[in-house]
Amino acid sequence: MERGPERALYDLAKRDAGVSVSVCLPARDEAATIGTIISTVRAALVDGVGLVDEIVVIDDGSVDDTAAVARAAGARVVAEAEILPDAGSGSGKGNVLWKSLHECRGDVICWLDADLRNFDPSFVAGLVLPLLLDPAVEFVKGCYRRPYGDEPTGGGRVTELVARPLLSLLFPKLADIAQPLGGEYAARRRAVEVIPFVEGWGVELGLLVDIVERFGRDAVVQVDLGVREHRNRTIDELAPQAMAVLATALRRAGLHDAHDTVELARVADDFTVRTEPVETAERPPIVTVDAYRARFGGSSTSPG
């Protein structure tokens, strides 16, 4: 990323917007990829053009060298269990994202998945700039092509087989969102601090639906990030994700009662059935948490 024209653009945009920017990576056992992402952000966007003010990793119980690699690359690393201990235990990606609001200092937060294999600093720049340039934008989703194995397309199976049909049926005004479950997005703190976070894999769909419900469809924009390459999961691994997305969508549509977990039935080769709990609990809007308000104050858009 060139430093001349881009530096001037980012300096002007940040000065006019009057905001600080955090990049946050929720991570569990991502030592193989997280270091490259962080060092690239630091070199290009912190030291290079000054767009990003801090890089934060929320380590969700990694047993590999994720935390050490992230620190060495230049991130501030915080263990999930150490954040808001008085708020009670939680689990899943959404719980980590919710806690990141307390740990990140920025007015704008850009979240990245830590397993990206083809990360480019333009991912962050593309997600953050609409929030700096247009005060009416509250949430920016990345859209991209998703390869699968050696094929140029075919990734995002839960998106195509579960999330997109659900949005088309239950939330048609969101049917144009290309990657509703994608982990690359940015938001204003004032928007995400006043909505609940699903603790498990339903968090991205829940955020999208809730932000549009509260702020309107025009508050959400998409940015083309090109191609996204990451670790492809097996069908067995994707089934709980699909279940969480389904439960979240039905709950948001008023068609499913709220439960902390739902049961996913698994049928073995010998046709025996076992059930697996899938996390669907929700964290309340973080602005309702005393420790958060003590750190950041209230919000002009907070409930009540």
Q: Please tell me the chain's helix, strand, coil percentages from 3-state DSSP, rounded to the nearest 5.
A: 45, 20, 35
| Residue 232 · residue 148 · CB < 8 Å | yes
Q: What is the mean pLDDT of residues 230-243?
A: 81
Is 273 within the bounds of a domain? yes
Instruction: Name the more confident of 236 and 41.
Output: 41
Q: ∠ CA(91), CA(97), CA(101), 5° rounding?
A: 125
Average pLDDT over the chain, rounded to whole?
Answer: 91
Is 303 domain-assigned? no
Tell me how many domains the chain contains: 1
The first and second tokens of residue 185, run together, are 């997005």
H-only helix segments in 134-281:
157-158, 164-170, 189-192, 203-215, 235-252
d(CA 174, CA 164): 9
User: CA–CA separation, 292 vs 84, rounded Å?
Assistant: 8
Q: Which residue has the higher pLDDT, 266 or 6?
A: 266
Strand locations in 81-230, DSSP E? 108-111, 139-145, 147-148, 151-154, 185-188, 197-198, 220-227
Looking at the domain assignment, is residue 53 inside a domain? yes
Domain assignment present for 116:
yes
How far is Cα 17 from Cα 162, in angstroms, rounded to an integer? 37
pLDDT the model gives residue 2:
52
What distance separates the 2 farthest-apart alpha carbons in the chain? 64
Q: Is pLDDT above 90 for 26?
A: yes
Tell me the whole-structure pTM to 2 decimals: 0.91
pLDDT digits (tens, 9 = 90+) for 61-106: 999 999 999 999 999 999 999 999 999 889 999 999 999 999 999 9
Task: Indicate if the pLDDT at residue 4 is higher than 70.
Answer: no
Check: CB of residue 148 under 8 Å from CB of residue 220. Answer: no
CA distance 8 to 203: 35
Q: In b/e form, how buried is each residue of 83-114, taking b as 16+ CB within 10 angstroms?
A: bbeebeebebbbbbbbbbbbbbbbbbbbbbbb
What confidence score (pLDDT) does residue 237 get?
83
Confirm whether 302 is domain-assigned: no
Say whether pLDDT at 136 is over 90.
Answer: yes
Does residue 291 surpass a pLDDT of 70? Answer: yes
Domain hosting 54: range is 4-296
Confidence category of residue 9, pLDDT binned at 50, 70, 90: confident
Rounded distance, CA 109 to CA 186, Å? Answer: 5
Q: Is the pLDDT of residue 201 over 60?
A: yes
CATH number at residue 69: 3.90.550.10
For residue 245, pLDDT beyond 50? yes
Confidence class for position 32, pLDDT limits 50, 70, 90: very high
For residue 27, being part of any structural domain is answered with yes
CA-to-CA dists, residue 18 to 11, 198, 215, 254, 292, angstroms: 10, 30, 21, 39, 22
The CA-atom distances, in angstroms, between 104 and each of 20, 74, 168, 240 are 10, 15, 34, 29
